[in-house]
């Protein structure tokens, strides 16, 4: 596409938490033209009826029925519950459209994994093989020659960004890996769930979906692809009494000792051209990343052990922001377009951050 022209956008399922963040970003993106929103239960409403807090910051948009989906847009974002996206993405691809799927229906590469972890029969197996897994800070420019980008989940984004360079560089040294991660309740979406009520979560923390979280096979397939093979990996998740954020702590047990400097250098070199990855001198805090598309990382190396901590905003870096970052890379824009005031205004490594020996 001629990048001097505006890109017209279609959003299927734009009335949830992720849809709200996506709209906020796209409305202020300098190359976006028209935005059409398609939904089921909210069709006929205006977007400002659903999100009145956006009044004054964006134009109103009438939500169209998903049953009257047209193909006028250049690029479609899909943000639907598990299993529902299968009804629309194959049709969009057949019409020659490009799709960035923020849901989970195309993240895995095996239809068998969908039976095991999601409980449904995947009906477009061929697209599982032809899609690109859109971990935007890891992909090469050449990876964007695809019609379908599967936006990663929030937990995998926070976990994989610090972990991938370690597995790539030190796979022979790794004995096992264990991740303990925490999420705000917005990760469960807007549907009413009694166990997520304020009265239930305030002042409370709890583990959930142990040994059955759907993001586990997503993480494992990526780790295996970069060299982990079949070494043990465990993943456990917890809910925090907050609305937004993901915090991930990963412990890597090693055969031999590694130095702090060589591990830090591996991560810094991996993300030297990634404007949204910040390597911190101390473990990150959620408040540092909320409302942003950043992933903040800290690494601590001990005796035969590496501990990685990372923090992201689950609705932005873990969903809408990374989707727009993928869109920017797809169209060869600076990947910070619409996500930062200026790429040059925010360096990768702040002054207080880790410096490598020259």
Give me the residues paired with residue 78 across strands: 12, 101
112-150 b/e (C-beta count within 10 Å ≥ 16 → b): ebbeebbeeebebeebbeebbbbbbbbeeeebbebbbbb
Residue 279: the pLDDT is 97
User: Which candidate, 159, 120, 103, 174, places its Cα nearest to that of 320?
Assistant: 103
**295 has catalytic annotation:** no
Residue 72: the pLDDT is 92
Domains of the chain as residue ranges with CATH = 7-130 (3.40.50.720), 155-314 (3.30.360.10)
DSSP 285: -
Q: Chunked in runs of 10, what are the mean pLDDT values of the chain (358 residues)?
A: 73 86 94 93 86 85 91 95 92 96 95 92 93 97 95 97 98 98 74 60 83 95 95 95 93 97 97 97 97 98 98 97 98 95 45 35
What is the pairing mode between strands 233-239 and 295-302? unpaired
Rounded CA-CA distance 97/179 in Å is: 37
Rounded to two decimals, what is the model's pTM?
0.90
Is residue 161 within 8 Å of residue 136, measured between CB atoms? Answer: no
Rounded CA-CA distance 61/45 in Å is: 9
User: Which candidate, 295, 293, 193, 188, places its Cα nearest to that of 242?
Assistant: 188
Residue 57: the pLDDT is 77
Give me the residues paired with residue 35 across strands: 9
Rounded CA-CA distance 155/163 in Å is: 12
Residue 185: the pLDDT is 82
How far, CA to CA in Å, does 41 sit from each of 44, 50, 63? 9, 12, 10
Catalytic residue among 66, 138, 154, 166: 154
Chain CA centroid to CA 358, Å: 33
């Amino acid at each position: 596409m001629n990048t001097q022209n505006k890109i017209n956008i279609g959003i299927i399922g734009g009335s949830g938490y992720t849809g709200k963040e996506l709209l906020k970003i796209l409305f202020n993106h300098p190359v976006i033209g028209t935005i059409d929103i398609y939904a089921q239960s909210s069709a006929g409403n205006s977007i400002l009826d659903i999100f009145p807090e956006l009044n004054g910051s964006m134009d109103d948009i009438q939500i169209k029925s998903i049953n009257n989906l047209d193909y006028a847009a250049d690029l479609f974002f899909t943000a639907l519950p598990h299993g529902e996206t299968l009804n629309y993405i194959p049709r969009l691809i057949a019409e020659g459209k490009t799709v960035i799927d923020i849901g989970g229906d195309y993240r895995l590469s095996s239809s068998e994994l969908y039976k095991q972890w999601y409980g449904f029969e995947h009906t477009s197996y061929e697209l599982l093989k032809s899609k690109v897994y859109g971990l935007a800070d890891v992909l090469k420019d050449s990876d964007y020659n695809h019609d379908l980008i599967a936006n990663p989940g929030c937990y995998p984004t926070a976990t994989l960004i610090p972990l991938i360079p370690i597995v790539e560089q030190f796979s022979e040294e790794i004995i096992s890996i264990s991740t303990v991660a925490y999420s705000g309740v917005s990760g469960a979406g807007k549907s009413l769930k009694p166990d997520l009520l304020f009265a239930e979560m305030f002042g409370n923390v709890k583990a959930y979906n142990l040994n059955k979280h759907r993001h586990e096979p997503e993480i494992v397939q990526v780790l295996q692809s970069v060299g982990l093979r079949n070494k043990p990996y465990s993943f456990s998740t917890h809910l925090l009494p907050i609305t937004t954020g993901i915090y991930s702590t990963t412990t890597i047990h090693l055969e031999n000792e590694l130095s702090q400097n060589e591990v830090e250098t591996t991560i810094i070199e991996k993300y030297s051209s990634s404007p949204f990855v910040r390597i911190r001198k101390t473990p990150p805090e959620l408040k540092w990343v909320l409302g942003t598309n950043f992933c903040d990382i800290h690494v601590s190396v001990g005796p035969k052990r590496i501990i990685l901590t990372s923090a992201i905003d689950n609705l932005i870096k873990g969903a809408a922001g990374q989707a727009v970052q993928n869109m920017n890379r797809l169209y060869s824009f600076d990947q910070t377009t619409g996500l930062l005031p200026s790429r040059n205004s925010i360096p990768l490594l702040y002054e207080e951050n880790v410096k490598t020996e020259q």
